[in-house]
Chains A and B, each alone.
Chain A
Amino acid sequence: MSEARSENSASNVAVFDTHPSDAIDAESPLHWSRQRGVIDAAAGEGQVTVVERPFLGHLILRGGAIVLDEAVRETLGVSLPGQPLGLNHDADGSRSVQWLSPDEWLVIVPAGEEFELENRLRAQLGDAHFAIVNASGGQTLLELSGEHAREVLMKSVTYDVHSHGLPVGKGVGTVFAKTSVNLRRPREDRFELVVRRSFADYCVRWLLDAGREYGLSVE
């Protein structure tokens, strides 16, 4: 791990890149599930598909909405969702900012971008009262799509996942089976589940069971 001090920043926060400088095989949160044969890529007719998106950059931003909004707009080109439960994406949909609580937002960016983004945000925010936490190693993202994706979710979460309860551009923290999930809807036909890394196996096992009648497959 290479240590670096954020330049231009008045703060003396030590930051470091969590990605190793040498090429080391990383294991996705579902590695164990695959190894144990829980996930069988050949199974399922694919009416509902779960795709794992491991190693994305997850940053938790905390602070005042106005200051953070300015900085995120400047560095990411996406505005901070002003309303509760909001979810904003950039033009190509690969970077997102989600409202978590009145002073907390989740930024998800493609793998490897998070360290640079954190440095740029720190430089931009300077002396402002804020916190940035890199949560990339702690959580992972599962994408759920297909015509019966909503039925699978209806069996799994207490939240109303119909379009009038969870329209596109909304993300909620709620109960998934017996654990918590950050459920987002970036597109009409797709749901995203941000789950704890250590619960990824549990969530996938639950989804496989709940989606068996729809031929759910995991990629």
Chain B
Amino acid sequence: MFYIFCPYCDERREEEEFHPSGQAHITRPADPENCSDEEWGDYLFFRDNPRGIHHELWVHRLGCRKFFNITRDTTTYEILETYPMGERPTVTAERAGVRQEQGVQTADGGWQTVGARPENSKLNEETPS
């Protein structure tokens, strides 16, 4: 069970009162009409699945019913910070290097898993037997 600090109620509550709503800080493409299918697909369907630090959106559904963000370590389940909407996290995984080290799987061009994109597109095609 988590014991979550709600930044609006200003105190810790049981996890039962909350509900997770997925990855935080997802920005909608500024010009949806003119963005690529890949960009739009990433925005709609693809989410990070990191091993390590992850920023999540939660809602205090049985308390103040406000959405807020949680920075959580997905390997230890430790909640590193909670912060209200509109703010940026103070605890972040370092870019690139650490992310790679941690085995972070980032949504990139529709490929969820690092290294999943085949070097040769023919590898993905079914071979007639």
Contact = CB atoms under 8 A, between A and B. Distances in A.
Interface of A: 83-85, 100-102, 104, 158-159, 172-175, 180
B61 to A, nearest CB: 8
Given A172-B63, A173-B63, A173-B64, A158 B14 contact: yes
Given A84-B8, A102-B8, A174 B13 contact: yes
A180 B11 CA distance: 18
Nearest to B6: A84
B89 to A, nearest CB: 20
A84 B5 CA distance: 13
Chain A interface mostly helix, strand, loop or mixed?
strand
Given A85-B9, A85-B11, A102 B66 contact: yes
Contacts, number: 40
B64 A100 contact: yes
Given A84-B8, A84-B9, A85-B11, A101 B64 contact: yes
User: Which 10 A-B pairs give the minimum distances between C-beta atoms?
Assistant: A101-B64, A158-B14, A173-B63, A180-B62, A84-B10, A175-B16, A84-B9, A102-B8, A175-B62, A101-B66
A180 B61 CA distance: 9
Contacts of B16: 158, 175
Interface residues of B, number: 13
Chain B interface mostly helix, strand, loop or mixed?
loop
A186 to B, nearest CB: 19
Given A84-B8, A85-B11, A102-B8, A174 B63 contact: yes
Given A84-B10, A85-B9, A102-B8, A174 B64 contact: no
Given A85-B11, A101-B65, A173-B62, 11 more contacts: A84-B11, A101-B8, A101-B64, A101-B66, A102-B64, A158-B14, A159-B13, A173-B63, A174-B13, A174-B17, A180-B62
